[in-house]
Amino acid sequence: MFHLQLIPLVQAIGYPGLFAVVFLESGVFFGFFLPGSSMLFTAGLLATKGFFDPWLLIFLMWLAAVLGDNVGYWFGNKVGIRLFLRPDSRFFKHEYLERAKDFYDRHGARTIVLARFVPIVRTFVPIVAGVVKMRYGAFLVYNLIGALAWAAGVTFLGYYLGEKLPFVQTYLTPIVLAIIVVTSLPLLWEFRSSEK
């Protein structure tokens, strides 16, 4: 089962691996496929079992998200325009970048916060912000808020539920699937709105 594989994976990669996953998924264009939200929740849950220090974990996940978004922004600012000209490949789909740009165009600066909760889009939005030359000060503020809400929030949710509901680990697969569905709702809403 998925949860039986995710728990040992998170334990095996530890702090450095989790930091790398969140960093890459937050703004490095080839990191879009990484399971950030489910790993954050699982790590928070494992913190209740003493595998991670919860406050160090929350801080590191927040820091990784902030730094990843910054790398994405500066990459987009300096060379990202070339991504719009790049053809599709096995790991890069032009559609992902267009989706992120559309999301950004619709929601403006608050996209930096909202996109955190949308798989795939969260990787490309900081790049698009850099490409469109969003004012860095505004980007940084929204980046700090978004990272706190997503990386720290999802990790804390796993920790909190693990503390309050000791049996929650039994239902990890449905919880992770629910996180994926819930974090995808803004994107689905956007698709539905754009079809009208």
pLDDT at residue 31 is higher than 80: no
As a whole number of angstroms, the distance between CA 177 and CA 154 comes to: 14
User: Helix, strand, or coil here: 79?
Assistant: coil
Q: Is a pLDDT exceeding 80 seen at residue 60?
A: yes
Phi, psi of 195 (to 5 degrees): -80, -15
Name the more confident of 74 and 3.
74
Mean pLDDT of 162-190: 72
Most confident of 77-91, 120-134, 164-178: 120-134
DSSP classification of residue 118: S
CB of 26 within 8 A of CB of 72? yes
Rounded CA-CA distance 139/185 in Å is 23
Tell me what pLDDT residue 84 has. Answer: 65
In which domain, by residue range, is 190 found? 2-195
pLDDT over 70 (residue 137): yes
Counted domains in the chain: 1
pLDDT attached to residue 191: 55
Residue 72 has pLDDT above 50, yes or no: yes
CA atoms within 13 A on the CB side of 69: 28
Structure tokens at 152: 């720290």
C-beta of residue 30 within 8 angstroms of C-beta of residue 92 = yes
pLDDT band at 13 (very low <50, low <70, confident <90, very high): very high
Question: Which of 60-64, 91-95, 103-107, 121-125 holds the top average pLDDT?
Answer: 60-64
- State yes or no: pLDDT of 1 exceeds 50: no
Average pLDDT of the chain to the nearest whole number: 81
Residue among 179, 154, 151 at smallest CA distance from 25 = 151
CB 99 within 8 A of CB 86: no
Contact 82/115 with Cβ under 8 angstroms? no
Q: What is the pLDDT of residue 106?
A: 72
pLDDT interval class at 97 (50, 70, 90): low
CB-based contacts of 71: which residues, under 8 Å, 6+ apart?
23, 27, 28, 126
Q: Is the pLDDT of residue 68 over 90?
A: yes
Stretch 89-115: mean pLDDT:
71
Query: What string of DSSP letters covers 25-77?
Result: HTT-GGGTTS-HHHHHHHHHHHHTTTSS-HHHHHHHHHHHHHHHHHHHHHHHH
Report how far residue 139's alpha carbon sits from residue 181's, in angstroms, rounded to the nearest whole number: 27
Rounded Cα–Cα distance for residues 74 and 171 (Å) = 40
In this predicted model, which residue has the larger pLDDT, 131 or 140? 140
pLDDT for residue 167 = 73
Q: Which band of pLDDT confidence, cut at 50, 70 and 90, is reported for residue 2?
A: very low
